Each structure stands twice: as C-alpha cells, then as structure tokens.
C-alpha cells in the first residue's frame, strides 16, 4: 500500500482461496455483571462479514460436524471493566477424540495484526486434525478486527485509489502526496472509529484472551501463536505468566525491535526469500522461465519494477499494476514456498504485458476480494500498530534512512522504509517502543524459528527466547522457506509441536529440523 503496514500478516489463507452477519459493534451496552461468568451461546457459523473478507460459511469438518461460532462480551476499556462492552467473535471445532483425554481449548492467533481468526482457522483446519483429538480448536477476531468491533477507515472506492498510489516517492511532489494521503487515511480512521482506536492495543487483546480462557472453562491458556500471534502470546505471558499452559510461538516476531529495526529486518528477510526463490528457479533441471541465473532473475524483477514506476501495466480492469502493487504482490508470494509457482507465473505474465496475477497477489495482501470489497485487515493493522508503537517518523527522517534500507534490499528497501510513516499524525499515542514479553514463572513456551522466513526473520526467535526469560522459551530451528514452520508440514517440526501440545513433551532446546 502507499504507506504499507509492516508485513507481519500471516496472509496465507487469503491467497490460497484467491488463487485456487451482523457486525459486533462497540458500545453494546454497559454491565455490572462479572463478564468472566458469562455463558457463551455456540451456534452454527454464519458467512463471514464484509470486514472478515466475505465469502461462504465454513465447510463442515471432516466428520461432518459444523464449525460453531459465538460472541464473547469484553470491556471496551479494560481500565473501566464495568463500562461499555464489545463483542469478540469466536469460532471452535470441538475435540474429536475420547473426551476423557481432552486437555481443554487450544486458542489460535494467526497474525496480522488484523487477521481474522474466525475465517483463518477453518481455512487451515485440516492441518490441525491431530491436535483436535485432545483439544477444542478455538480462534477469534481480536478487538478491532472482523466481527469484533472492527476499525473502519476508508471505503472500498477510496481504498482502490489509495492502493494505486506510489509507495516509494522519488521527488518532493510524490513525497508530499504520500504524506497527505497518509493523513487522509488516518483522519478517516479517527472519524469512523474514534471510540475504538485507544482500545486496540496488544495488551487489550491479551486481556481479552485471559477472559476467553475463563469463559471457555480452562485453568490454563493453551495457545498457538503465529507471526504477530507470537507477540500477542508474549504479551499475554508477561501479563499472566501463571496462566500459561502449553504454548507454541511459530514465525516469531523479534520483541526487542522498534518499528525502524523491524522494518529493516523485514527488508533483509524478504530479500533473502527472493534470493532463495531465484536460486531455486534457476537450479531446476528445466529452464527457469524468468531468468537464466539467480542474479538475472533479480535484475529482471528490478527492471520490471523500475518500468512500472513510470508506466503501469494493465491489471484487473479498471485498475493497473503499479510499481507498488507489483512489489506488494511479490512480497505476498514469498510468504510460502507453495506460492513460488504463482510468482513465476505472475512474472512471466508481467513480462508479456499482463499484470493480473501479481495484482491478485497484491489484492490478497490488502484484503480485497474479487467483488471489490475490502476486509478491514489494513485498517486494523494500522490501528493496532499505531496504538502499540510510540515512534512517529517524518518524511525527512525516512529519506535519511533510504541508503541503509536499499543496501538491505534493492527490491523491498524503499517500500519498507516508507512504511514507517504509517502512524504519522495518528490520533492515539503509541504505548511503547517494543513489547514487554518477560514472563518469569511461565510454563515452557516452544519458540519455532524458520531460517528462510521473510516476514519474521529467523533471528527473532532467539531474541524472543532471551526476552521471555530463563527457563521459559525453548528454541527449535527449522531450516526451511516461507513464513512459519508448522504449516510447512515438515515431519520433524510437527512431531515436536504435537509432542508438546498433546503429551507435554518439551523438545531439547536447540533442536534443529530440516
């Protein structure tokens, strides 16, 4: 996007679908009741709301059972728990095995921030069949997301225009336009969601999760966090260390970095993933259709992007494939090695003058469906990041950092450097430079780092282990590609994760899977 959010989203399910209900608002009322004593009313799930991305209701589970949905009431302001409440949308698949061996609920957060767990869990449900034998699988739309009092900013037509803009300005006029449109977007968020913006911090979502634990009837929170979900899990462990059960962090956010450090780390991570894609393509027996050597692949991509800055290609009518959309689409395709074939096909198509595939990939990253409707992923991503993070960067500051970002990545450097202006003139101050995840007294947390991860670079796993504190974080390394490790279906990774979640067996620290 013109001032893209940090690419922390675990956006795989939306891409897989793309390429192959009544909203719960804020101010639902106030209550003097103890919200931890509420009883959830589980019903068959409706079709996803527009804010969740639209589409059909989730398909039945393998045994024919239906997914169940409910709404949990939570305080709008955890500083005033007797005040207004909001609805937190939940989804579950009840445990399939012997109920006498049921452990409890396993709560998932798939990342973002801004991703809908209510739509993502069914999309990946088959990957967790074994875990379902002893757990109810549960996920949710965090506050500000999907059906949980969604943050609203610009409308679909405005977003189409917004995403067509130049995210990597080359001169004063383009820089001024970028900053102006950032301010317009942020002003729309304040106008349409003023009441929610102060209450979408990760600490608020963590408190919602502890309420969820209680309402679900669990003594401990058993948790599977992916991407931003690892940050949320770390914040939860810091706030409620004694309530942590068996927890997995996969695709790990570095909790020690500020916004600038995180953006620079992602520039390096996405460049590494692009390097790996190029080497993979040119090492195959057949000819690589997008370059003769790995360097040739990258040179041709750079040439394509430079050309698009001046002359976009036809995309999905009436929109064009701009430099920004193409960069966004390439980044999206690097989230999973399974998507590299789409990148190859998209580049082939673009070199022939057709930008449709790269635009589909970009649309997926931005939360746009084929009907031209946007989920609120981008709005929620910006709102949560800006509420969490104190830094506010100026255009002049970013310009001074461009050489460092370009050295990290010729393809993604400018794109991620300019993403740092997303919170310029945001209505709510940020909470901290980076989250506190120290969790003395917590049960062991299995922290899984992937050496080829573009969005959450591998080094973040060790930083998370150290920040959690002695005796808490247990690091496991996966020598693979893509964002996260468990869904790669690597037998070693899945055996270690399943062994902990199902049997309580913590793998040896430093275990390596390849």
Is 434 part of the annotated catalytic residue set? no
* Residue 129: partners with Cβ closer than 8 Å, 6 or more residues away: 62, 96
Residue 105 token pair: 């609920």
The residues that bridge with 221 in the sheet, in sequence order, are 244
Report the candidate in 277, 272, 278, 315 with the shortest Cα–Cα distance to residue 413.
Answer: 272
Torsion angle defined by CA atoms of residues 460, 463, 468 and 470, in that order, rounded to the nearest 10 degrees: 140
Is 514 part of the annotated catalytic residue set? no
Query: Is residue 109 within 8 Å of 226, Cβ to Cβ?
Result: yes
Using alpha carbons, list the distances in angstroms from residue 503 to 115, 359, 478: 29, 44, 21
CA distance 325 to 361: 9
CA distance 24 to 5: 25
Query: Is residue 252 within 8 Å of 464, Cβ to Cβ?
Result: yes
Query: Is residue 234 within 8 Å of 439, Cβ to Cβ?
Result: yes
Cross-sheet strand order for the sheet of 135-140: 43-44, 68-75, 85-93, 135-140, 104-109, 221-226, 244-250, 445-452, 473-481, 511-513
Of 363, 414, 453, 487, the catalytic one is: 453
Query: Is residue 150 within 8 Å of 380, Cβ to Cβ?
Result: yes
CA distance 260 to 264: 6
Of 116, 227, 263, 442, the catalytic one is: 227
Is 227 part of the annotated catalytic residue set? yes
CA distance 294 to 277: 8
Of 199, 238, 434, 483, the catalytic one is: 483
CA distance 332 to 78: 35
DSSP states of 72-116 as a string?
Answer: EEEES-TTSTTSBEEEEEEEEE---S-GGG--EEEEEE--TTT--
* Residues annotated catalytic, as ranges: 227, 453, 483
């Amino acid at each position: 996007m013109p001032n893209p959010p940090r690419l922390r989203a675990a956006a795989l399910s939306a891409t897989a679908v793309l390429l192959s209900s009544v909203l719960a608002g804020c101010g639902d009322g106030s209550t003097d009741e103890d919200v931890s004593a509420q009883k959830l009313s589980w019903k068959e799930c409706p079709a996803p709301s527009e804010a969740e991305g639209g589409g059909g209701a989730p398909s039945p589970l393998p045994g024919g059972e239906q997914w169940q949905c409910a709404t949990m009431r939570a305080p709008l302001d955890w500083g005033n728990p007797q005040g207004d409440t909001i609805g937190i949308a939940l989804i579950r698949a009840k445990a399939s095995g012997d109920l006498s061996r049921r452990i409890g609920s396993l709560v998932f957060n798939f990342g973002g921030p801004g991703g809908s767990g209510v739509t993502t869990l069914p999309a990946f449900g088959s990957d967790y069949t074994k875990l379902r034998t002893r757990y109810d699988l549960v996920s949710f739309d965090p506050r500000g997301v999907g059906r949980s009092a969604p943050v609203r900013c610009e409308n679909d037509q405005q977003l189409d225009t917004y995403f067509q803009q130049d995210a990597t300005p080359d001169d004063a006029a383009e820089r001024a336009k970028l900053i102006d449109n950032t301010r317009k977007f942020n002003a729309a968020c304040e106008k349409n969601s003023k009441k929610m913006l102060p209450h979408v911090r990760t600490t608020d979502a963590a408190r919602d999760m502890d309420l969820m634990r209680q309402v679900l009837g669990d003594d401990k929170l058993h948790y599977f966090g992916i991407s931003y979900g690892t940050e949320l899990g770390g914040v939860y462990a810091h706030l409620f260390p004694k309530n942590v059960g068996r927890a997995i962090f996969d695709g790990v956010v570095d909790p020690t970095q500020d916004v600038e450090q995180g953006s620079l780390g992602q520039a390096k991570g996405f460049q590494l993933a692009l390097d790996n894609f190029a080497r993979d393509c040119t090492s195959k027996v057949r000819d690589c259709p997008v370059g003769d050597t790995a360097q040739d692949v990258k040179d041709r991509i750079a040439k394509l992007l430079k050309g698009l800055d001046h002359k976009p290609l036809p995309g999905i009518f009436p929109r064009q494939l701009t430099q920004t959309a193409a960069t966004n689409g390439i980044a999206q395709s690097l989230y999973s090695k399974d998507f590299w074939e789409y990148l190859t096909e998209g580049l082939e198509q673009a070199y022939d003058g057709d930008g449709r595939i790269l635009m589909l990939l970009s649309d997926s990253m931005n939360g746009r469906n084929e009907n031209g409707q946007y989920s609120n992923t981008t709005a929620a991503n910006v709102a949560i990041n800006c509420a969490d993070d104190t830094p506010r960067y100026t255009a002049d500051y970013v310009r001074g950092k461009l050489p460092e970002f370009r050295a990290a990545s010729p393809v993604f450097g400018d794109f991620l450097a300019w993403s740092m202006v997303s919170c310029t003139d945001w209505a709510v101050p940020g909470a901290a430079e980076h989250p506190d995840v120290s969790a003395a007294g917590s049960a062991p947390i299995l922290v899984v780092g992937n050496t080829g991860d573009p969005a959450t670079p591998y080094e973040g796993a060790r930083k998370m282990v150290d920040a959690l504190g002695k005796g808490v974080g247990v690091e496991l390394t996966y020598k693979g590609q893509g964002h996260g490790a468990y869904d790669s279906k690597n037998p070693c990774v899945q055996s270690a994760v399943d062994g902990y979640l199902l049997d309580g067996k913590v793998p040896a620290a430093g275990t390596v899977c390849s």
